[in-house]
Amino acid sequence: MARPRTFDEDRAVDAAMRVFWTTGYEATSTQDLCTATGLGRSSIYNTFTSKRDLFDRALRRYAEHFTAAQLEVIRDESLPLRERVRRILWTAVEPVPDDPAGCFAINTIVELGPREPEIVDLLDRDHQTKVAALTTAIQAAQAAGEIDAEQNAEGLAVYVFTVLGGLRVAARGGASADSQRAVVEAALRSF
């Protein structure tokens, strides 16, 4: 008879997510995961079957969490569009204090994308969801006369997420908050 689990599986996935986010898939050892989650090897493998399974779950958790937060901001019609865009970009300037620097999704695409098309597909679908939502918000702002109706709404949406990705890569490289703020201010001139 199998013993009941005595740990919170979601917490284990969250802890593993932070390790993979910081270190990457290849450089993360099983011991790193044991240390971060507080679980033994057998518990990790009995629950998640493999390092890759745990990584996939961690990546999905990251995408779900950050996409939900971004969609909430994008869809907040009580805010002017420019403020919504600023809030999205500002997450790279002032990230959540406990979050590792950079972007887990971008780090993963750089590390595994060339040989893992299913990961690229997952992250591309996630990205397209955000771009579509922001495109819709931009179109509504254009119709309301809030921003220039001549601008390409989808191009602006892609631009916002491209700038966000660049800010996160720069943060991972140690960019100063002042330089990050300057980039955000420059990007907001498009709105």
5 lies in a domain? no
- The answer to whether 63 and 105 have CB atoms below 8 angstroms apart is yes
- The answer to whether 67 and 82 have CB atoms below 8 angstroms apart is no
70 lies in a domain? yes
10 lies in a domain? no
134 lies in a domain? yes
114 lies in a domain? yes
State pTM to two decimals. Answer: 0.89
Q: Domain count of the chain? A: 1
CATH no. for residue 153? 1.10.357.10
140 lies in a domain? yes
How many Å apart are CA 101 and CA 174, to the nearest integer? 8
For the chain, 191 residues long, give each residue's pLDDT as a single digit of tens: 444 455 688 999 999 999 999 999 999 999 999 999 999 998 888 889 899 999 999 999 999 999 999 999 999 999 999 999 999 999 999 988 888 989 999 999 999 998 999 999 999 999 999 999 999 999 999 999 999 999 999 999 999 999 999 999 999 999 999 999 999 999 999 99
